[in-house]
Structure 1
């Protein structure tokens, strides 16, 4: 299984600029013949408190990303704002090779102005069972229990780690490692740029690969194929 993690530069509120960057980075990733291409949390709209207008683009975003996945024949994981009734979820989707939505995760770890998710789901692929969680969910105790119960083979974590906090340091990476070990699942993490970064952890918490800033990270992983 080959995975391309894309720490994409995101301009808050500038969908067309973000889409151009998304397409460019997607095409660059295809040169490595990946099975999965993974982008950060709400990567096509960004998010600024409490502007939920990006949710209005949900349908258009889904159509465009599904088209790319279908044309290239790859899985795509990415985050976006999802409208629901009179509120919004911070969601992430797994798009299949045929452009269909295979998996949707709605973030747990959010302030009260968001709707929040209440479960972790899995979907089978030819590489094993997949789950998605989002950013702060990695540190949520309820999420850990759900992941341990569902026992996915690997998990994707789109992030939007605040650029105001600075570049992730050794303590941050250690905390991610400890959570991956707690989940007991091979964990793929990708963050928006700035500050960027991508990390891959084995289920025992060992860091096996990483990148900084906006550099893509492409890894080949041995899997139990079904």
Structure 2
């Protein structure tokens, strides 16, 4: 299984600019012949508190990303805002090789004004059972319970680690590793840029590979 983790530059509120960047990075990653391409949290709209207007693009985003996945014959994981009745979820999708939505995760670890998720689901692939969690979910005790119950073989983690805190440091990575070890599933984390970065851990929380900035990280496991 080959995974391309893509720390994409995201511009809040500028869908067309983000879409051009998404397509560019998607095509760059395809040169590595990956099975999975993993993009950050709400990567095509960005998010500024409390502007939920990007949720109105949900259908268009799914249609465009599904078309790319189907044409290239790859899996794609990415985050987006999802409208639901009178509120919005911070969600992430796994798109299959045929362009269909295989899996949706709604983030647990969100402040009020968001709807919040209440479960973790899995999807079968030819490489094993996959699950998705989003950014702060990695540190959520309820998430840990659900992941251990569902026992995925690997996790995808779209992330937006705020640039206000600077580049993730050794302590941040060690904290990620500790949480992954508690979950008991290999994890692939892609952060938005800036500050960027990507990380791959095995099921014991051992760091397998990492990248900095907007460098694509390709992991063959």
- TM-score bucket (shorter structure): over 0.9
1:19-38 correspondence runs (5 A): 19-38=19-38
**Which residue number corresponds to residue 146 of structure 2?**
146
Total equivalences in the alignment: 221
* Structure 1 residue 210, shift from structure 2 partner: 0.1
Question: How far apart in 2 are the matches of 1:107 and 1:201?
Answer: 21
Give 1:51 shift. Answer: 0.2
Matched, 1:47 2:43: no
User: 1:29-68, CA deviations, whole angstroms, 9 ceiling, x for partnerless residues?
Assistant: 0001100000000000000000000000001000000000
TM-score under structure 1 length normalisation: 0.97
Where does structure 1 differ by over 4 angstroms across 4 or more consecutive aligned residues? none
- TM-superposed deviation, 1:17: 0.4
Q: Give yes or no for the alignment of 1:100 onto 2:100.
A: yes
Partner of residue 172, structure 2: 172
Q: For residues 147-194 of structure 1, give each alpha carbon's deviation from its aligned partner in whole angstroms, at most 9, with x where no partner exists.
A: 000000000000000000100000000000000100010010010000
What SS does the corresponding residue of 1:146 show, helix, strand or coil?
helix
Q: Does 1:90 align with 2:90?
A: yes
SS of the residue 2:94 aligns to: strand
Q: Compute the displacement of 1:218 (Å).
A: 0.4
Question: Matched residues in 2 for 1:155 and 1:116: separation?
Answer: 19
Q: Distance in 1 between matches of 2:91 and 2:111?
A: 14
Which stretches in structure 2 are left out of the alignment for 5+ residues?
Answer: none
In the other structure, the counterpart of 1:13 is 13
Question: RMSD over aligned Cα, in angstroms?
Answer: 0.3
Matched, 1:205 2:205: yes
Aligned to 1:128: 128
User: 1 CA distance for matches of 2:118 and 2:13?
Assistant: 28
Residue deviations 1:133-155, cap 9 Å, x none? 00000000000000000000000
